[in-house]
Amino acid sequence: MKLSANEEYGLRCLVRLAYAGFEERALTIPEISQAEGVSPAYAAKILRVLRKGGFVKAARGKEGGYTLARPAASIRIGDVIDALGGRLFESDFCDTHAGQAPICTRSVDCSVRSLWRAVQVAVDQVLSKTTLRDLLQNEEEMNSWVRTIPGANGLRLIQ
């Protein structure tokens, strides 16, 4: 249960593009790569995923670069994370368990599955209510915003 490298860097690239969008500015791979501290080749690979997911668009040639494909407020972070790293608990998760025969406690009636589903729902509750626009604020503002997510209102971010 780890964030993948794609998720970590991909989201950060998107945020950076969103900021650049304020000034109607496209960012090139070298710019993004340097800003995020990853190699240009790797940045390119990540940007490709984001492009195929429909979150950014690219312009080639001189004066080219990447921009958001649509307004930050209409980009759900949940969708972004799905594109970059898949879901924690896919709906076919239990079809692909290792063994064939005596799967789980009681096959079709499994409390563990219920737990995983609950965790996925908890994650989705945060990620599907957050848009890229929401990430364009400083950490403190973001902390208080997160507390307003319905269903997650008990969240204590300060440990």
Partner DNA sequence: GCTAATCTATACTTAATAGTCAAGATTACT
Partner DNA sequence: AGTAATCTTGACTATTAAGTATAGATTAGC
3 state DSSP class of 66: strand
H or E stretch covering 138: none
Q: What is the C-alpha to C-alpha distance for residues 109 and 8, in angstroms, rounded to an integer?
A: 35
If one asks whether residue 23 binds a second copy (CB under 8 A), the answer comes out as no
String marking each residue 18-37 x if it binds DNA according to CB under 7 A:
---------xxxx-------
If one asks whether residue 125 binds a second copy (CB under 8 A), the answer comes out as yes
Q: Residue 7: which of 88, 105, 107 has the closest Cα?
A: 88
Among 69, 88, 110, 149, binds ligand FES (CB under 6 A): 110
String marking each residue 25-64 x if it binds a second copy according to CB under 8 A:
---------xxxxx--------------------------
Q: What is the C-alpha to C-alpha distance for residues 100 and 22, in angstroms, rounded to an integer?
A: 54
Among 25, 34, 48, 151, binds DNA (CB under 7 A): 48
